Amino acid sequence: MKVLGIETSCDETGVAVYDTRDGLLAHALYSQISLHAEYGGVVPELASRDHVRKLLPLIRQTLDEAGMAVSDIDGVAYTAGPGLVGALLVGAGVARSLAWALDKPAIAVHHMEGHLLAPLLEDDPLGRPEPPFVALLVSGGHTQLIAVDAIGSYRLLGETLDDAAGEAFDKTAKLMGLPYPGGPQLAALAGQGTAGAYRFPRPMTNRPGLDFSFSGLKTQVMLAWRDSDQSGQARADIARAFEEAVVDTLAIKCERALEAADCETLVVAGGVGANVRLREKLQAMAVRRGGRVSFPRPAFCTDNGAMIAFAGALRLQAGQHGDAAVQVWPRWDMATLPAL
């Protein structure tokens, strides 16, 4: 089954073709970073309009790269939530129209399930991680720990009570004067910082539970930056201390989640999953415990069509699909998804 995947939940237009027999055939991504940079963040209406302009050309490009005609598609998968409602509607409208015209099934995909399953796209030398496992979903909009009992069967173990980790990276970068999007630039700057020059608390690690909170850490950074000489070195030192605090917090909570779930397999997905320090920390933790951790390639940590095509292919292959109605859910609880 060849499935076309469409991702338009926020500020990236992603398209891919996944074949349940041959794997990922082609994928393409268009980022709107330059469009939103002058505003310091995503402008929803501009995002929606840019998806309208870019989606159909990107579909044609991806099908060409896969060596396929549009009539070769066996099904269509699209992100239906969570996300920006206008952006979601662009992808949903195109996907449902295409499926109707081809008389093929279409499936609404949960954006975070796509992220959760992205590591399973990779050729892991240890083999594809099989449930049960614990998933850390860590991005600009979400920081969650999920117990995956089976594909489609998810239990929330813990989540952020305020800012997501990626959001905290972006806001911290902005308050120190780094341009949008600041999170990746802050992570790069942290590599130039001096270890131990600053130390920030590891939020909510001194109490039981698996929830996160990063707003207080962000305030600590603001105060440290205000009281520093605001030189380039101070910015790098504070960036390093901030990154270390976030990474340590995520690692501590992941280890607790593995213990709570009586599991030794961790899957990490989402934009912050590309962070080098986080990958090293979690890999070391997994080795120490005699377990394993799986990551998607950095290109599949951010929003992309490949994860949507893959997640949709699994559900279409299981016989699941929706009717012709164009529906999206800007807020959508992953626990409500049907099991495969």
305 is in an annotated binding site: no
304 is known to lie in a ligand binding site: no
- The pair of structure tokens assigned to 305 is 């069509």
Residue 141 among known ligand-binding residues: yes
Measured distance CA(35)–CA(15) in Å, rounded: 19
Q: Is residue 142 part of an annotated ligand binding site?
A: no
- Closest to 340 in 3D by CA, of 99, 187, 154: 154
**Bond from prior residue into 132 cis (ω within 30 degrees of 0):** yes
Does 215 belong to an annotated binding site?
A: no
**183 assigned to a ligand binding site:** yes
* Widest pairwise Cα distance in the chain: 64
Residue 137 assigned ligand-binding role: yes
Distance CA 21, CA 317 (A): 11
Torsion sign across C-alpha atoms 166, 278, 179, 36:
negative
**Is 153 within any annotated ligand binding site?**
no
Question: What does the DSSP assignment read for 65-88?
Answer: HHT--GGG--EEEEEEESS-HHHH
Residue 192 phi, psi (nearest 5): -95, -5
170 is in an annotated binding site: yes
- Residue 36 labelled as part of a binding site: no
For the chain, give percent helix, strand, coil, nearest 5: 45, 20, 35
The amino acid sitting at 31 is S
CA separation for the pair 316, 148 (Å, rounded): 20
Residues in the annotated binding site for Fe cation: 111, 115, 303
Binding-site sequence positions: 111, 115, 137-141, 170, 183, 275, 303
Annotated binding site for substrate: 137-141, 170, 183, 275
